[in-house]
Structure 1
């Protein structure tokens, strides 16, 4: 079977703050789990993201803190990298765009190609301006209501409906610095003409099977005949390579592909083959799977495919996997109100495998979901530290009294056949949920819970056979072997979500001769192996005191 090649990206976070669970439960966890699964299949995988240093939000943070944009972006890109490492979600490479010497070159190269191909158009458009602050106000500096759905929105993409806000159309726009109403001035801006590529994009969507809301939004945007801005009049950013637009910069949203490409070039610079990045960006065999928040649907689902098709040098997204917003106890995450759980806190205080598992169970895929503290406590202390821990410790303790078990598909008992049938059903769900077009962390995590629960029920049912006569003793050992077999399956399927738990089970099963020094491969599910189980020296999961949970939420919980 030929191996596949995947370029996997997580939408770049803005380098103006650290990462909270909303960021982590979305693109980063999805991209990480998908990458790990593809590597279990022995596919060729490169997982990339970067800190977006050129966003207006970085400039705003710099002004608010009396620092330079470079100081702000450098500090927070470094902080985000540390948080991703703590959460075990760190991509293969995670630089800041300002640290990438190739970023400016690639941004300008794509612009020049599109300009020469006649894909760009100079327009006179209304632009928000604050007379009080003497500032042209784009995304971070303008706040009002979306002219599509009426929700609160900045002057870029609406977080609620995902539609881009065309120039000057944000309703009741106010300056985020001084809170005064904004005037509009007519300015020249260069746009990528999506209208010209509408037919090509429609054909592109016909071959895709994305999440329903993402597909619907992309088609609505094409029907609205919205073009995408390439330039803006500002200081922070990469210069437009035209002599008559020296006071303009290239729009940071336009720069997304250049960010990914230059991050890959930078990644390859440390390899013996410096051109290795081209295997992912200039090969027809590559599948680019982009993980993004729903508000990035336009950029990754319409804008980037359109302009990369037009340039015809680099690959463009094959699958865009979106996620909705993630709240806390039925309230939106708000850093200004300190209503947030920071990744640097939760992954330091609580076992990262446990946090990752809960985030998967509650992942905001097709609808907004919540991190519910009480449910999280129950998973940690009841399901894992109590039920799972009791089963795992007892099973391995009993199994360690025997020399070895040959795990194969032969000589099943009636009860083990019933167990395997249920496990096979869950395995089918898990395999389907790890395909790009049907990817689901939620359903995967629920299937894992299902396997564990069935295993626990089976184990509890066979314990009464332990002290009976020799005939029943043989039956007991046979059932014990089947329960160990299911435990091994659990260890394999949890590898992408709970990697440390999986490694610990693998080590305790002993003599698992396939890939002995490495993580499990998916093919290990089919292997016959001889194991010599060991008694656990410590719990797999420990109960977390209420005082630790209290440290996560520095706000007074609101009763709904």
Structure 2
């Protein structure tokens, strides 16, 4: 079960570089060992896309990348259970995951495919060899779990036991509950996942990356990175009593062979590969590749924090490169399955509720500072708000424009009783939205109630004038169309599908900057083409 050779791969993917003044946004590589679950979608991927869309609408360059962790041991375990090859499992689930990302409106500039990108494997091998030649990687002999009935030493998802740090059920390598590394030999009550036999310790030689020699530079990096409180506490715990050593090879047969004499029968460990994957693919560490960007922001779950927060900076420091990446991590997004529903697969929910509903709901419940629980009843309420309040106002507005001005934007300037006060509130909303969307203060959860306030304010303004003698005046219709144009721009990062439909109905370009200037009606005479279906959600 070896990785396919380069000759069997697709055409190489060209490197996508970031302008020096742009932001490189990365997300944790996702293991293609199953379909995309709503909990996975709700973590880093939608949030990262929201930021990228905001920056691009603002005229600032942004590069959004991710990858699939094809060589994770969980892919091999899934393949063994189904009697398939790991490469087949990775390819099939990768295709499904990428399709679900697209369906949800997450638009990556690049998705690294370790099995299929020709240049990637060569870059990974080159980086690994360089680290070994620089003395950053050293041989170590450690007692790893071994299954005697299966006659193999276990690593990653091939073994299960209690985490030596927090006691949670864990595989070998990194505990997804506390994010702390361990080599598997220190698991409590380890068992083989394949046959269920108790694992016994066996001395195994491999290559490791000691972090303690890099302590001073790592601590300096963590201080400069302005880590969120939970990450800062995590790094402090790691550093207490001496930084650990990280296994960078494993005794398995799935993955990229180790390019170091004496270890060629082993594979580069997926924990190491996931950490460096996007840097390798970016070309920033190649002999003639572009320099790494000056600004980088990583989105990921806390259980995978070791890679971007510790391992990648350590690799860069060992190579004499200053780390630049900041990290945002979310907590666990758990699923409370309703009776009769088997799981919460992203594709099922996207098909049933649409990307606007799903994106808004997972952002509104984004587990940034706490663990949250997904319940489908909450998704239903989100769709109800979008349909009854957002679409309800837009339907009424489109009908009023058809009746009051023949379906075109009136020539009158925006106005009417209460317009000045509404405009002042909307300008304040634009400022609040920029704070919620901006990279330095990013928390898109704050955008949801602000956008609702925009819709409710416009709807109240329209109702007030509809009840006046003679109905709404032309300037009132123009004012509401100005709010609709602003809503198309301001909701674009969060709900691009509906925002795009609204922009098309108004005859304006989608993806305008999130600014007060967006509060401008389309040119007089522009025909308003009300869509035959709901604008947001469905």
TM-score bin, normalised by smaller chain? 0.7 to 0.9
| 1:392 to partner: Cα distance | 0.6
Pair 1:499 & 2:502 matched: no
Structure 1 residues 441-492: Cα deviation after superposition (integer angstroms, max 9, x where no partner): 3222232223222222332223222526xxxx6xx44444333322222111
Paired with 2:535 and 2:22, the residues of 1 have a C-alpha distance of: 36
Preserved contact between residue 384 and residue 541 of structure 1 (Cα < 8 Å): no
Cα pair distance change 1:56/1:497, threshold 3 Å:
same
Contact 1:146/1:153, CA 8 A, preserved across alignment? yes
Q: What are the residue-to-residue correspondences of 1:106-185 with 2, within 5 Å?
A: 106-185=123-202
Match of 1:256 among 268, 274, 290: 274
Distance 1:541 1:522 in 2: 19
Aligned to 2:517: 525
For 1:306 and 1:344, how far apart are their aligned partners in 2?
Answer: 37
Alpha-carbon separation, structure 1, partners of 2:412 and 2:142: 69
In structure 2, the partner of 1:8 is: 25
The answer for the alignment partner of 1:365 in structure 2 is 368
Superposition pairs of residues 399-438 of structure 1, within 5 angstroms: 399-400=401-402, 401-402=404-405, 404-405=409-410, 415-438=418-441
> Aligned pair in 2 of structure 1 residues 370, 312: CA closer, same or farther (>3 Å)?
same
CA drift at 1:322? 0.9
- For residues 347 and 153 of structure 2, what CA distance do their matches in structure 1 show? 35
CA displacement, residues 283-318 of structure 1 (integer Å, 9 cap, x when unaligned): 4x53222111111111111110111122135x7452
Work out whether residues 389 and 455 of structure 2, in 8 Å CA contact, stay in contact via their aligned partners in 1. Answer: no
Counterpart contact for 1:407–1:530, Cα < 8 Å: no
The residue number in structure 1 matching 2:317 is 309
Deviations 1:212-264 (A, max 9, x none): 21222123223351122211212111122221112222111111254214544
> Which deviates more, 12-21 or 97-106?
97-106
Cα gap change, 1:157 to 1:248, in 2 (>3 Å): same
Aligned to 1:17, what secondary structure does the other structure show? coil
Q: Is the 8 A contact 1:362 1:369 kept in 2?
A: yes
Work out the CA distance in 2 between the residues paired with 1:481 and 1:17: 50
2:336 is aligned with 1:329: yes
Instruction: Call closer, same or farther: CA 1:110–1:141 in 2, change over 3 Å.
Output: same
Shift of 1:393: 1.0
Corresponding position: 1:446 with 2:454: no
Output the TM-score relative to the length of structure 1: 0.84
Q: Which of 285, 295, 303 is the equivalent residue of 1:295? A: 303
| Pairing 1:394–2:391 present | no
User: Any idea what SS the aligned residue of 2:67 has?
Assistant: coil
Mark the CA change 1:407 to 1:23 in structure 2 (over 3 Å): closer, same or farther: farther
Three-state SS of the structure 1 residue aligned to 2:115 is helix
Q: In structure 2, what is the Cα distance between the partners aligned to 1:499 and 1:106?
A: 35
Instruction: Assess, with a 3 A threshold, how the Cα gap between structure 1 residues 356 and 201 changes in structure 2: closer, same or farther.
Output: same
Of residues 467, 478, 501 in structure 1, which corresponds to 2:470? 467
Distance 1:466 1:485 in 2: 23
| Cα offset, 1:95, TM superposition | 4.3
Q: 2 CA distance for matches of 1:256 and 1:59? A: 16
1:486-508 CA distance string (max 9 Å, x none): 22221111111211211222222
1:69 aligns to what? 86
- The alignment status of 1:242 with 2:260, answered yes or no, reads yes
CA distance in 1, matches of 2:307, 2:166: 19
Distance 1:387 1:539, change over 3 A: farther
Alignment partner of 1:508 is 2:526:
no
| Partner residue in 2 for 1:554 | none
Instruction: Report the Cα distance in structure 2 between the residues aligned to 1:462 and 1:278, rounded to whole angstroms.
Output: 61
Per the TM alignment, residue 349 of structure 1 is displaced from its structure 2 partner at its CA by: 2.7
Classify the secondary structure of the residue corresponding to 1:489: helix
Asked whether the 8 Å contact 1:5–1:44 carries over to 2, the reply is: yes
Q: Secondary structure at the match of 1:292?
A: strand
**In the alignment, is the contact (CA less than 8 A) between 2:123 and 2:281 conserved in 1?**
no
1:394 partner SS: helix
Q: Quickly say closer, same or farther: Cα 1:491–1:97, change in 2 above 3 A.
A: same
Secondary structure in 2 matching 1:519: coil
The 3 A distance-change label for structure 1 pair 542 and 256 is closer
Which structure 1 segments of 5+ residues have no match? 269-274, 332-336, 545-560
Asked if 1 retains the 8 angstrom alpha-carbon contact of 2:430 and 2:515, the reply is no
Instruction: Compute the displacement of 1:96 (Å).
Output: 2.3
Structure-to-structure mapping, 1:192-203, within 5 angstroms = 192-203=209-220
Number of residue pairs matched by the alignment:
511
Cα distance between partner residues in 2 of 1:155 and 1:13: 18
**2:532 equivalent to 1:538:** yes
Q: Distance in 2 between matches of 1:71 and 1:395?
A: 52
Cα distance in 1 for residues equivalent to 2:427 and 2:71: 48
Q: Distance in 2 between matches of 1:165 and 1:437?
A: 33
Closer/same/farther in 2, CA of residues 477 and 262 from structure 1, 3 Å limit: same
What's the RMSD between the two structures over aligned residues? 2.8
**1:393 and 1:535 in contact (8 A); partners too:** no
Contact 1:300 1:317 in 2 (8 A): no
Alpha-carbon deviations, 1:27-56, whole Å to 9, x = none? 211121111111112222222222211111
Q: Which moved more, 1:140-149 or 1:428-437?
A: 428-437
Residues 321-364 of structure 1 show CA distances to partners (whole Å, capped at 9, x for unaligned) of 11111122389xxxxx9852112222223322222111111112
The SS at the match of 2:160 is: strand
- How has the CA–CA distance of structure 1 residues 70 and 89 changed in structure 2, closer, same or farther, with 3 Å as cutoff? same
Residues 1:483 and 2:480 are matched in the alignment: yes
Take 1:207 and 1:407, find their aligned partners in 2: how far apart are those partners? 53
Which string of whole-angstrom CA distances, capped at 9 and with x for unpartnered residues, describes residues 482-540 of structure 1? 33322222111111121121122222223x4xxx4x53234683585525352524242
TM-score by length of 2: 0.87
Rounded to whole Å, the distance in 2 between the matches of 1:533 and 1:209 is 49
